Structure 1
Amino acid sequence: MKKLFLFYILIGGVLLQGCKEFLDLPPKNQRAVTTLSDLKSVLAGYLDAFAKSNTQPIVGPYPIVTEDQNMMFEAYSDNFDFKANMGQYVNPQNNNKNEKFYANNLLFNNIETVDAIWNKYYETIGFLNALIDQSDELVIADPNELLRVKGEMLVHRAYYVFKLQQYFAPMDDESMGIPLYLHSGKEVIGVEMKRKKSSEVYTVIIEDLKKSLEYFHSVGAKEGYSRFFNERFIQNLLAQVYWFKAETASKAPDDYQSAIQYAKGAIAGVDERIPSTLAAFQSVQQNLDTQYPAIYMQGRNYGGIAGFFGSPWDYMGFAPANLIVASDLLALFDNNDFRKEAYFVNNTLSSAWPDGAAYGAKYVRVHLFTPEEAYLILAEAYFRNNEEGEALNTLNKFKGFRGATVKNNLTGENLLNEIINERRKEFFTDTDKRWIDLKRYKIGNISRNLRFFDKNFDVKVSANDYHYALPIPLAELQENPDIVPNEGWNPIIF
């Protein structure tokens, strides 16, 4: 049996740049994986980060959506009145972030964070490729346990591939999917790392997830070890993939029917766990409800998202504080909706959000595979599948969880807009979700006329323009002659 030497662990991906290096290198260096026990031990060094809030994974980002990533996608969206908040951002009392931080984010110029997403996500895919390859070569291994471990890795790989596709591939150009290679490079050297067709990328994602779901139905999860290898979570991610794909150039006629199938599986039996009071809602945000059916991760940096969510010391006069939110967002909430009290104080962001305390520590809080997301995917998928009655019933049932006023007699575009608005309310400041919605629904025109370093900058973002396919990192373009860049991006030098 061949030995697989994991080059990631000792000299690792942190020294490498570009997807070509992460996906097309022969294994080398010191650490050999020859048994299932070896494989589980190495994988545990990655998985522990999904169970413990103080463990840095051996590969990949922590949390899976980092503080910088969360703030960048919020800055690239439309939930805040950024111009009105400039006096709080560029302020001598702001000891959280400097002027360049705001300039790069608010002017769609955050190259460093975009590069980190590309490199860290591809690094993790390469790591998983190596382990999956080796799992196929393990002859002496408990077959059930091997399926559990392989199923776990397939879901994680599918997640990273899906997010890269969402971030870097245009919606309407089938030829401009992300580069992808699914092996460790030990058999074939010199693979051309071209952009794949988007439909090919989605095929990989869906096949990995369906295979993992098949494994789950065969052997089930292992308590205490499995993280993403969970029937509900796999179906949730499948629903997300079909939902997103259905509005791209890679769409297929049955995408929304598949989204309905998997969204229903993801929410089966969870209604009693979905918060229906303000206290329960905040309890979930703080990860105090141990039965809440989602993966939770929290950043380790006190004040890590203070730059856009308010200083932990705002009550002492430190900036930013009293951050003004977009008026059109506020107008979406009725007075019965307890999310309004959770998020806001009048027209400003509450100091308690997202921590649920009077003066929040401003940790980034990430929930993956939530039932709320599956519910709203289900409502839209019913609508797109010409089942408007089911769509409205599902939407109103969801509104009932949040104390929001139900809607009657909604049809056509009015119903779709209500679903989109419900997503905006539910996923306020949640990871990348509003930016993804702006991209997918091709909505919104963002105009930024801001002043930094004594100079005026004017940036306009139109619906479905180049801003919704993030720039391929310069290092990738320099090292990978086969890749085609996302056009339109011209970095600003301050």
Structure 2
Amino acid sequence: MNLMNRNWGQLIVFILLVLFMISCDHFLEVDYPENQISGEVVFQDDATVLAALTAIYAHLRDNVLLTGNSNGLNVIMGLYSDELEYYGTPGQPLDAFYNHVLLQSNTSVEQLWNQSYYTIYMANSLLEGITENSHLSSETIQEIKGEALFIRALTHFYLVNLFGDVPYVIQTDYTLNSRVKRLTENEVYKAVVADLKAAQSFLSTSGASKGRIRPDKCTATALLSKVYLYMEDWQNAESESTSIIENTSLFSWETDLSKVFLKESTTSIWQLKPKLDGYNTLEASIFNFVSVPPPLMALNEHILNAFEEGDMRKTSWISSVANNADVWYHANKYKNTSTTSTTEYSVIFRLAELYLIRAEARAHLENLNGALNDVNKIRQRASIEDLINISKEELINAILQERRVELFTESGNRWFDLKRTGKAESILSLIKPNWESKDLLLPIPENELLVNPNLSPQNAGY
């Protein structure tokens, strides 16, 4: 792969990233030995190797997939689906997502691919660096191994859902990576599950005591339940989500919508901490606007009309800005844009999604009463009526509707739900004039195909 063509260059970049994060990022509170920049030094003590691990989370927060800025799934796939209206400069990469005119050369697509595989490279570097390492404590090795496997699984999970067949990269060796081949979606899913099960075996449940900013066993379990949902393995999706929901010593239901995204929320399973003390989330900065027309994007009529009358999520999680008779709406889940007092972290997994995963799994397993109980818990918090006496098909559709209004602008969930349930074509073809069936997958970046012919053929239609 083009991104991983020069191992030494990548290693130097990784080490420099660790050094930069140690000096600038309040995630990391270690002193790095002066005048020492080598791969071996990173793995010489617990503090520096943990700093290297945390640098990966900073990379996710600031650059790729889970980032709250315009390069992340929140924005890109919100524009690609039916959540966001684009107001930025015409002809820019995000405009191509919104209008479904993506080319193989789109720089946002290229960044998704390259930065994701760089994340995987960093995780693999850690896994290789801790192997047969006598300088680190056994506890640190367990933590690093579990979290690195989780990161590798997480990133491949999103890649396979964005691009379809993709390579599953498990090493940093240039010779191997330069000719790596794409695996089928089923093969990728099997590898994701294997990595997550291994991660579960290495991780503890200590994340809650550390501010929920480090993935732990519960985080791996939450992702595994989501993976099983996408695989339509309903029994395992139900089982894994239940293990989180029933862990009431770590997670508790929050009935106040205004507190769901606060940093101390007990519904958060995993969240990313802002870069500096006093700062707040990138999501708050990118989604909120005070002048109109909006500088980049706003919520569109389709998501606004999706809420039932009286749904308090529309009141609590959406705000408006008016100019005479014209009104624009924006996501307001993250409200604090100040740089003086940190009140919010970027939530990646939260309890509500686990209830919705279990509800959907239970409905498919014919446990309609159990599914109703789960989805009604979500609805009750939003102050809308319980669902009663509905068929299995109606219940599944109702659960997908709840996912839409509960998880809007979060990690591309709406797009992935449309895609995995086979509804993308029928819904988006009506509102996206340029929609084509090929849009179910993003194109493989053309530079990657040129560097590694084994990645061919290109996804159909591009």
Aligned residues: 420
Q: CA deviation at 1:437?
A: 0.8
Check if 1:98 corresponds to 2:89. Answer: yes
Task: Give the share of equivalent positions with the same residue, in percent.
Answer: 23
Aligned residue in 2 for 1:144: 139
1:238-317 equivalent positions in 2, closer than 5 A: 238-246=224-232, 255-270=233-248, 273-277=252-256, 281-285=257-261, 287-297=262-272, 309=287, 311=289, 313-314=290-291, 317=292
Residue of structure 2 equivalent to 1:341:
315
How far 1:489 moved relative to its partner? 4.6
1:477 is aligned to 2:420: no
Matched, 1:198 2:185: yes
Which position in structure 2 is the counterpart of 1:354? 333
Alpha-carbon distance between aligned partners in 2 of 1:106 and 1:58, rounded to the nearest angstrom: 23
Shift of 1:478: 0.6
Q: Among 32, 35, 54, which residue is 1:47 paired with? A: 54
Give the partner amino acid of 2:254.
Answer: P
**For structure 1, which runs of at least 5 residues remain unmatched after alignment?**
15-28, 90-96, 170-176, 247-254, 451-457
The structure with the largest helix share of the pair is 2
What residue in structure 2 maps to residue 455 of structure 1? none
CA–CA separation in structure 1 for the residues paired with 2:197 and 2:69: 28
1:183 is paired with a residue whose SS is coil
The separation in 2 between residues aligned to 1:397 and 1:303, in whole angstroms, is 28
2:221 to 235, 253, 260: 235
Structure 2: unaligned runs, 5 residues or longer: 1-6, 17-35, 321-325
- Are the aligned partners of 1:445 and 1:460 in contact in 2 as well (CA < 8 Å)? no
CA distance in structure 2 between the aligned counterparts of 1:367 and 1:123, rounded to whole angstroms? 22
Q: Secondary structure of the equivalent of 1:368?
A: strand
- Residues 472-491 of structure 1 show CA distances to partners (whole Å, capped at 9, x for unaligned) of 0111111111112443454x
* Partner residue in 2 for 1:425: 405
Alignment of 1:1-12 (within 5 A): 7-11=9-13
Aligned to 1:413: 393
Q: How does 1:384-463 map to 2 (within 5 A)?
A: 384-443=364-423, 444-447=426-429, 458-461=433-436
Instruction: Identify which of 124, 130, 152 aligns with 2:125.
Output: 130
CA distance in 1, matches of 2:128, 2:99: 42
Q: What is aligned with 1:115?
A: 110
Change (3 A) 1:223 1:38: farther
1:35/1:138 contact within 8 Å kept: no
Q: SS state of the match for residue 434, structure 2?
A: strand
Q: Point out the more displaced range, 435-444 or 107-116.
A: 107-116
Residue 189 to residue 295, structure 1, CA distance change in 2 (3 Å): closer
Q: Distance in 1 between matches of 2:159 and 2:417?
A: 16
Give the conservation status (yes or no) of the 8 Å contact 2:101–2:434.
Answer: no
Aligned to 1:73: 77
Q: Following the alignment from structure 1 to structure 2, what is the Cα–Cα distance between the partners of residues 322 and 6?
A: 40
TM-score (norm. length: structure 1):
0.73
Distance 2:368 2:441 in 1: 32
- Secondary structure of 1:100's partner? coil
* 1:224 to partner: Cα distance: 5.2
Correspondence for 2:170: 182
> Deviations along 1:404-447, whole A, 9 cap, x unmatched?
21110012210110000000010112221111111111114324
SS at match of 1:435: helix
1:183-212 CA-to-partner distances (Å, cap 9, x unmatched) read: 2228x6576311112222222211111112
Contact between 1:297 and 1:365, CA under 8 Å: does it hold in 2?
yes
Q: What CA RMSD, in Å, does the superposition of the two structures yield over aligned residues?
A: 4.1
Task: Kindly indicate whether residue 352 of structure 2 is the aligned counterpart of residue 372 of structure 1.
Answer: yes
